[in-house]
Amino acid sequence: MVTGVHVLRATQRAGRAYQAVKCLTNNSTRLNTRDWDLCHRRLFSSSEILYGRKYTDKHEWVQMEGKIGTVGISHYAQDALGDVVYAQLPDVGQDVAQKEECGALESVKAASELYSPVSGKVVEKNAAVEEKPGLINMSCYEKGWLFKVELSKPEEVENLMDEDQYQQFLKTNDQ
Amino acid sequence: MALVMKSVLASRFCASFRTAVLIKHSSSAKFSIAAAGKKGSHSAPEEDIKKSVFISQSKDVFSNLALEDWMYRNMDFSKHHILMLWQNSPTVVIGRHQNPWLEANPQVLSENGVEVARRNSGGGTVYHDNGNLNLTFFTARDVYNRRRNLDLVTRALFREFNLYSQVNSREDIVINGNKISGTASKLGNPNAYHHCTILVNVDKTVLHDALCKHDKGITTTATASVPSPTVNLQEVNPNVSVEKLLSALGWEFLRSSPLSLKDGGLDYASAQGGFQLVNPTEDWFPGLDKIREEFVSWAWRYGRTPEFTVSRSFPVPHLIARESGMPLKDVKEELAISLKVVKGVIEDVTLKIPPSMMSARGFTGDAEVLTSLRGKRFCESAMEILGESLGQSESQTLSPEQFGTSSETEGERFVADCMRQTMMAV
């Protein structure tokens, strides 16, 4: 039973990696936005296997490197928001708590609260995103990261969703 | 407003609307924080959702914004959708991430007794007065839908006043291309709200003057307003009044199903929570005063302004340049001033002093006034400092012992005066 699940996951991953490669190699013509999005998603899905990105049910992600977690929002979230025109990020030195408001992203006249996926102290914020909030739409997993936290409760990460769980969560949420 | 509402309700719906109209006047706490929704809860199926209309009895913008925020933070909207109707005394309301100095004209505001408030939602700046009606639609986040609410408004305008209006791509409501309603929203968890304005007979002269844009030399990443031509509903149909509109919108909300907007008529409406007159006070909403205080505070209204820079240039007057010994015809130089404002406080002052001023006899270039501006609130506190320093240099000019260094005084006065003009223009 358990083995079965593992096998399935492995196949899914392999499938994604394959799709990503196909996406990159097969498109000699210009990719339309949708293809590009899909391509991105798949590419980053496979990178998650390498880096262990974890997700919340509010669509934030955190990626750990030692004690420092880098926080951003998921592709799904940036797509739902539309063009982000202003990013209000927590200040360096500020304490944030898991599931608590710590900033806001503004898009098409809506201010969406930003919830921290983990607790700790903010050690860096992405000045490039403050200057150019569109980075969140263009590159939500790389250039569009939001802030870095030195975790006070590293165990919190354990309870977040991994890539597969998050994709499953998105599917059930859509229905 | 309470009396007007009562009479409207009584005359129109007395017979058909039996028990649903709840008008509460008691001043005991009506809404307790204990009723707050569970975090992460999902909206109930459509048939289980009740609807109520809250009408705020206050015209104080800070109390109304506090009420809106209180409801957003504390109430459970998973089985209960609420439309809050409210009005404010003359106020300029800026979006959450906007710059009040850029969006409003402080001089016009103080002359007309207009307040400046910052709201919690995104979007651009609007002007409110008694000719304007505000609507806030509260729902759970998962069923938040701005378009649905706006469709409800256009339907009410058609049903009651025979007005054809459209929702445009910016989700403003327009009649013949002119805006009658501006929209913004706040999305959180588990709750969300969408609010909009409706212009009935707003004083358009004040609206225009208060929001009129001129070049203030401000550079910022703050959310920009998109100015649009506006029209009052009364200009299109003289029969519209705020009271009638309030009633029409309230009924349209109650008779429409919460998610699919199916028209259930008066039978459906009478099964809902009806109209409730609410007072945004601490008695009714425990904890409201604290939220209101925050909305009134300088830290929220001005301190929350995204970082910005004000830059201006001023031609150096001949009187000062003459001292430099340069031929007058060559003097076309400018003094450039740049103020960096972070969290509403002046963080940095940069002066670009042209050679003609630098070489002027005695002018050292480090006007003391610059250092004293750092760390001061933009721009009232900073203006006071400048006022003092200008006064000082004036007395210096007059004193005989300072006579020999008149160009130094002139130079510093010029710098201080330019600084004052830079801030005055904002």
Which residues 6+ apart lie within 8 Å of B262 measured at CB? B256
Give the pLDDT confidence score for residue B110 in this predicted structure: 82
Nearest to A106 among B96, B171, B183 (CB): B96
pLDDT of residue A76: 93
Q: Is residue A130 located within the same domain as residue A69?
A: yes
Torsion of CA A97, A98, A100, A106, to 10 degrees: 110
Residues A59 and A21 in one domain: no
Q: Cα separation of A96 and A152, whole Å?
A: 10
Note whether A116 and A163 are same-domain residues. Answer: yes
Which residue, B137, B132, B129, is CA-closest to B153? B137
B96 in contact with chain A, both atoms CB, cutoff 8 A = yes
Q: Is the peptide bond before A102 cis (omega within 30 degrees of 0)?
A: no
Q: Which residues of chain B have pLDDT under 70?
A: 1-41, 319-332, 359-369, 389-409
CA dist B96 and B378 (Å) reads: 18
Q: Are A61 and A126 found together in one domain?
A: yes
Q: Over B134-175, what HEC string results?
A: EEEEEEEHHHCCHHHHHHHHHHHHHHHHCCCCEECCCCCEEE
The tokens describing B169, both together, are 């791509």
The answer to whether residues A38 and A82 belong to one domain is: no
Q: What is the pLDDT of residues B171-221, one digit of tens each?
A: 999 999 999 999 999 999 999 999 999 999 999 999 988 887 777 889 999
Residues near A155 by beta carbon (within 8 Å), at least 6 away in sequence: none
Q: Which residues of chain A have pLDDT under 70?
A: 1-51, 174-175
Q: Which two tokens stand for residue A160?
A: 């977040």
A14, A30, A47: which is the final residue of a domain?
A: A47
Does the structure's ipTM exceed the value 0.90? no
- Position B420 scores a pLDDT of 84
Q: Do A100 and A29 share a structural domain?
A: no
Considering only CB atoms, A111 lies closest to which of B40, B121, B170, namely: B121
Interface test with B, best of A106, A113, A136 (most B CBs within 10 A): A106
B198 close to B135: Cβ distance less than 8 angstroms? yes
CB-closest option in B97, B124, B189 to A113? B189
A32 and A63 fall within a common domain: no
Report which secondary-structure segment, H or E, holds B334.
strand B334-342
Q: Are A40 and A75 in contact (CB under 8 A)?
A: yes
Dihedrals phi, psi of A75, to nearest 5 degrees: -60, -45
Contacts of B184 in chain A (CB under 8 A): 109-111
Verify that A15 and A59 share a domain, yes or no. no
Residue B279 has a pLDDT of 97
Going by the DSSP 8-state scheme, the letter that residue B222 receives in this structure is S
Phi, psi of A170 (to 5 degrees): -60, -40
Closest CA to B119 of B105, B136, B132, B140: B136
- Which residues on A lie below 8 Å from B223 (Cβ)? 85-86, 106
Task: Report yes or no: B190 at the A interface, CB cutoff 8 Å.
Answer: no
Judge if A43 and A57 occupy the same domain. no
Structural domain boundaries enclosing A37: 1-47
Claim to verify: residue A120 and residue A41 sit in the same structural domain: no
Q: From the list B40, B183, B188, which residue is nearest A109 (CB)?
A: B183
Give chain B's end-to-end CA distance (angstroms, integer): 37
Q: How many helices (H) and strands (E) does chain A have?
A: 6, 9
Confidence (pLDDT) at A103 = 95
Distance CA A148, CA A72 (A): 9
Q: Tell me which chain B residue has its CA closest to the CA of residue A100.
A: B189
Task: Dump pLDDT digits (tens) for A56-104.
Answer: 999 999 999 989 999 999 999 999 999 999 999 999 999 999 999 999 9
Which residues share a beta bridge with B184?
Answer: B195
Say how many domains are in chain A: 2
